[in-house]
């Protein structure tokens, strides 16, 4: 028998909790991967300053920094999503206008995906453009 047959919403609650954990992990990945890549690129350039052209790293670094910023904005919109959901369920505020929780949710997903894409593009950019300086 299903949980709803007993009047329980246990499964729905546990699924929601799992979705929140997965979402948090994805948002953290966007920030930590971009931040770690930026730090690693700086460390690499610091050790190899004489053999690598610095202008080649600018594009990759710009994507990594943008990825951190996008991930931070995704966290803000995730907070606003939860705040609106709380207002709708606990306080009885109607869902209306531009401040609907759905809009914040879509913005969070878009920003999170953009952060991960920034990491991928920055990584590919770095690999493609970093090459030794001609002697």
pTM equals 0.82
pLDDT given at position 36: 97
Residues 77 and 100: their CA atoms lie apart, in Å, by 12
pLDDT given at position 1: 46
**Given its phi and psi angles, is residue 55 left (phi above 0), alpha (psi -120 to 50 degrees) or beta?**
alpha
pLDDT given at position 129: 83
Residues 19 and 3: their CA atoms lie apart, in Å, by 19
pLDDT given at position 93: 76
Residues 116 and 70: their CA atoms lie apart, in Å, by 9
What's the N-to-C CA distance of the chain in angstroms? 74
Residues with Cβ within 8 Å of 47's Cβ and at least 6 positions away in sequence, in order, are none
Residues 50 and 135: their CA atoms lie apart, in Å, by 10
pLDDT given at position 68: 97
pLDDT tens by residue, the chain, 135 residues: 455 555 578 888 888 889 889 989 999 999 999 999 999 999 988 888 777 777 778 999 999 999 999 999 999 999 999 888 888 888 777 777 777 888 999 999 999 999 999 999 999 998 888 777 776
Residue 1: strand, helix, or coil: coil
Distance of alpha carbon 40 from its chain centroid, rounded?
Answer: 19
């Amino acid at each position: 028998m299903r949980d709803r047959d007993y009047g329980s919403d246990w499964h729905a609650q546990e699924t929601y909790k799992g979705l929140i954990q997965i979402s948090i992990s994805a948002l953290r990945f966007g920030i930590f991967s971009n931040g770690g890549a930026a730090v690693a690129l700086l460390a690499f350039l610091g050790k190899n300053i004489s053999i690598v052209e610095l202008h080649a790293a600018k594009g990759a670094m710009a994507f990594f920094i943008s990825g951190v910023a996008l991930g931070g904005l995704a966290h803000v919109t995730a907070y606003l999503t939860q705040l609106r959901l709380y207002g709708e369920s606990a306080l009885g505020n109607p869902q209306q206008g531009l401040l609907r929780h759905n809009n914040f949710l879509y913005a969070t997903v878009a920003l999170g995906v953009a952060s991960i894409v920034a990491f991928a593009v920055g990584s590919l950019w770095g690999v493609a453009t970093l090459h030794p300086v001609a002697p």
